[in-house]
Chains A and B, each alone.
Chain A
């Protein structure tokens, strides 16, 4: 790809791991590859990554993977135990639980993806501005953050959903609104340690304004710890979403949302355990996968790691 003075052609791996990259792209790709090597060494994290890739595949190809429609009812076959015909059994309306789980992965990913996009970005903005500006800006932003932190997460989300109306969109919004304060705290703490660093002073002496310092110098250093935190929080977000679904404030029937499915199975839990257990198992596996992924990402991204 790049010209080298070496007569021997170098392998792609050597090119990526070169100590003296010849171009901007080689340096960036090399840094990425280094990260990938660190990540790959963590077996459990790879396990989590594979599960999540399977989950993505499942969500994308849901209509082709699901043996039946998630909505087709058959009251003659209601509450059937797992069998060759219905691998994971059927629920109280005779719907195939496996099909509903497969379609439900779309909803789960939608919720997690949207919250994971909104909450950390909002937290990053508020936290870094507060930490960097200091003074009354810091005071105002952090007191607002404290107000949000003063409520238990799920209770606050409940209040938002109750005010906005029960729907999956509002549930996502409510979760995002309750999830950002910890990110703001984290970003502010990071900013405070970075703010007085010599490299910030040096950039200032080059004439860099506050916006540039924030975006080019402070954000890149805060983002990695936020990503780790998000990956570790994913499990919590899934559980909160499931909790809202369970309480009937998230996805509305007949949507195959995993939390709502557990809620449906609650009445039959003693006699027909699989109705609640199967979606519970799905939530458990995906939450675990996100946690494992988060652990692996921390090894790669944490600047306090063994990189130096």
Chain B
């Protein structure tokens, strides 16, 4: 589904150039859930943004669904395959657009018909009733906002969902709800996830495999079982696991 190799991402021009990601390589199979773990500034979100086309200063190969991607330009087919859920639900919804406006715009842009019925179903899918349809973001709680953001991502009926710390801005009790929702949605829609998190427990809950990142490089790719056993091959991984227990 997703193949990344040799990925370098940088910001700025020399002499101020910062190499955010160096030589990252991983692949995610169809239907798999893959985690990217590391401390802040390790480049995990940057990888997601480069895949999504929100950063154009990168080199290497990114292959989505068998097709090579270049620069920051993406075609319609890409947006129908890949969608993203952002970290902060307070920043990812337009403050002047109602839930209805957000979802119908997404559906229209994806060329879907029968918008009324689809909006109702999307809201049901993410556990919001019809009563939420005409609310504005300031009338929603953080968890509800994130559900709307997930519904927006699902509008395109994508197969690959990029999750950028989707729960880190939420209360602990709400976190669990959103994580369970994401788990259910994956089973229902057969989605592939790439999830960024600094929280090993979250990744352990959602993912099958994960990559551990440190200062822009992937230091180890391991299975979640290995994570649970605390069996990291690298010192840094063991250090990270120990720190989270």
Contact = CB atoms under 8 A, between A and B. Distances in A.
Contact of B86 (A21, A27, A198, A217): A198
B96 A206 contact: no
Interface residues of A, number: 28
A208 B94 CA distance: 14
B138 A24 contact: no
Interface string A199-215: 10111111110001000
Nearest to A308: B138
A303 B95 contact: yes
B26 interface: no
B76 A221 contact: no
A83 B54 CA distance: 73
Interface stretch (B3-11, B149-157, B186-194): B149-157
Q: Is the interface of A mostly helix, strand, loop or mixed?
A: helix
A202 B109 contact: no
B181 interface: no
Contact of B110 (A19, A20, A206): A206
Nearest to B149: A202
B71 to A, nearest CB: 14
Interface stretch (B30-38, B129-137, B208-216, B236-244): B129-137
A107 to B, nearest CB: 36
A307 interface: yes
B164 to A, nearest CB: 9
A29 to B, nearest CB: 11
Contacts of A22: 131, 134
Given A26-B134, A27-B135, A198-B86, A206 B92 contact: no
Nearest to A307: B138
A216 interface: yes
Interface string A233-274: 000000000000000000000000000000000000000000
A202 B155 CA distance: 12
Interface string B21-33: 0000000000000
Given A20-B135, A201-B84, A206-B155, 12 more contacts: A24-B134, A27-B134, A27-B135, A198-B87, A199-B93, A201-B92, A202-B84, A205-B53, A205-B54, A206-B109, A207-B76, A217-B94
16 contacts: A27-B98, A27-B134, A197-B91, A201-B84, A202-B84, A204-B54, A205-B53, A205-B82, A206-B110, A206-B152, A206-B155, A216-B105, A217-B94, A220-B96, A221-B94, A307-B138
